[in-house]
Amino acid sequence: MFDGNDKEQLRKTEEFGSEILKTCVRLGGVITGEHGVGIEKRELMCEMFNDNDIQQQLDIKKSLDEKNLLNPGKVYPILRKCAEEGRVHVHKSKDKFPDLPRF
């Protein structure tokens, strides 16, 4: 239980939840559950999926949703977070995931 109106409590709770999910992946589990990855978990996709996995998912989404009308910006992690986690490698200034938003 926490007070979501208290910014410090909210920050600590989100950080704790993130650590739980990272531990799940380290122990062979997944970040997804019955409802998949949502906004709260998308930054943790880099814990579970490598660059090739994410690219394949992006390719499938693009083939089914060429105009990016279905849940734009809600499924895939922003590159800033993946880069912070050391999970995205930029080579010769070329972006691996041109469809992901940059912040």
The amino acid at 56: Q
pLDDT in tens, 14-60: 899 899 989 999 999 988 877 777 777 877 888 888 888 888 888 89
Q: Is the pTM of this model over 0.75?
A: no
Helices assigned H by DSSP within the chain: 7-26, 45-48, 51-64, 79-84
Domain boundaries, the chain: 7-84
CB 99 within 8 A of CB 64: no
Distance CA 48, CA 50 (A): 7
CB 13 within 8 A of CB 2: yes
